Structure 1
Amino acid sequence: MGSRREGRELALQALYSFDLNPMELRQSLVLFWEHNRAAPTVRDFAEQLVIGVAEHRDEIDRIIEEKSKNWSLGRMARIDLNILRIAVYELHYRSDIPKNVTINEAIEVAKKFGTEESAAFINGIIDEVASNVPDK
């Protein structure tokens, strides 16, 4: 597995943990890293994603809700929602990650951590979001 995939998976786990146990973000990350080990580059990338999603969460959630017809954020599985948040963050705020990489990575992470329907669900929403984002 590539270091960025590992970083995305750890970011997903950290965001999920933060959803279940809301606290100050830095404190949440300290606790998360006490129980999860990663190479410095993986950890750095994961933290960039977590902090980026947290800083832009309201805007990211608005974009997701806008593109997810018939699904409110409250009805979405927490894992699926956090995979979407990471992908939307990458699409809108990370010029160093190509669109197709973000889409493919979101689908692969969904296959590993989500339900049987997660990958298709995420693919549908991310395709909608990506269609409004210029190529990098």
Structure 2
Amino acid sequence: MQSIYAMHQSGSDNLEKQEKFLQASIENIVDLYLIMLSSLVEIRKKEMEYQVLAQQKHLATPEERNPNLRFINNPILVALDANNSLSIALENRKINNWQANDDTILMLLQIIKQSELYQKYMAKKAVTFEEERFFVADMFSELIAPNEKLYSYLEDFKLTWVDDIPVVNTQILKQLKQITHEEQSLKVPPIYKDAEDKDFAVDLFRKTVLNETELAKEFIDKTPNWDIDRIAELDTIIMKMAICEFLKFPSIPIKVTINEYLELAKEYSTPKSSIFINGILDNLVKDFQLKNRINKVGRGLM
């Protein structure tokens, strides 16, 4: 949707260039995932460095000489630091953001150590593995992921990440909560589940752009009280994409298409867009079905 909108705004007809940008934007989600996950590793390392320096102070306090090691010995954080899948992915994709920008990590560490969550965790006489895991998950979801300065850094680093941050953070939190005492390893997930999944975004982009005129004709007659120029541009793009899925993607259920594009309208377009689009798409589906223009394959796809 954003790629098609960008083409409209720029007046460009360079389909190949926009396709490459679209693919690169999707691939870059992996970098965002690695940066966010590795923040946990780097935060622990900074605390380790701090404790070493504190112990070496000439007038170190008793607490500095004998620090509470619970945080740096947290089994989840230790496992992430030793994780081969994460280390290899960071090296292969040349992710070194926190080495080049450790002030963000120091800021996050300070926020964590000042938090009630950290204070309660460190004050416990003993903790179970589940409590260790809950602490890391809560630390990530409550203190790291919502941090505005971190968000600003990521937005400045790559603007296309703005919409990807919630998706990535949700994935990381899910993985953290799934770590068990028996299985503490965490695998960096693939960006695509299979070849068909990889091709889908580009196929949808290409089929929508190359058929925009024909797709627009499908709903123009269904908006008799609206001048086509008065319909929000994003609304027309959303409807074209939805119609494209109805007619050219036989494996996608109709209800899935409608629900997903209504969510896009609610998130990105005008307050009333989802109601308007829902009415148009609902009428179109009835018309397409009456004329046998929709051919979905598989059970439950209608």
Report if TM-score (shorter chain) is over 0.5: yes
Offset at residue 72 of structure 1 (A)? 3.2
Who is 1:26 aligned against? Answer: 16
| Residue number among 1, 5, 29 corresponding to 1:16 in the alignment | 5
Offset at residue 35 of structure 1 (A)? 5.0
Aligned pair count?
125
Offset at residue 18 of structure 1 (A)? 0.9
Q: Which moved more, 1:21-30 or 1:35-44?
A: 35-44
| Residue number among 243, 267, 272 corresponding to 1:88 in the alignment | 243
What fraction of aligned residue pairs are identical, expressed as a percent?
Answer: 29
Q: Which has the larger radius of gyration?
A: 2
Offset at residue 97 of structure 1 (A)? 1.0
Q: How large is the RMSD of aligned CA atoms in angstroms?
A: 2.0
Q: Which moved more, 1:23-32 or 1:107-116?
A: 23-32
The question of 1:64 aligning with 2:219 is answered yes
The question of 1:113 aligning with 2:268 is answered yes
The question of 1:128 aligning with 2:283 is answered yes
Structure with the bigger RCO (C-alpha within 8 Å, sep 6+) is 1
- Separation (CA, whole Å) in 1 of partners of 2:22 and 2:204: 14
Offset at residue 73 of structure 1 (A)? 2.8
Who is 1:75 aligned against? Answer: 230
- Check whether the contact 2:22–2:202 (CA below 8 A) recurs between aligned residues: no
Deviation per residue, 1:10-66 (Å, 9 max, x gap): xx1111111111231111222444555343466532211110101221110100212
Q: Which moved more, 1:41-50 or 1:121-130?
A: 41-50
Amino acid at match of 1:15: I
- Check whether the contact 2:4–2:237 (CA below 8 A) recurs between aligned residues: yes
Q: What runs of 5+ residues in structure 2 fail to find an aligned partner?
A: 30-190, 297-302
- Separation (CA, whole Å) in 1 of partners of 2:18 and 2:227: 26
Offset at residue 132 of structure 1 (A)? 1.6
User: Structure 1 segments of 4 or more deviating over 3 A?
Assistant: 31-36, 40-43
- Separation (CA, whole Å) in 2 of partners of 1:27 and 1:13: 14
TM-score when scaled to structure 2? 0.38
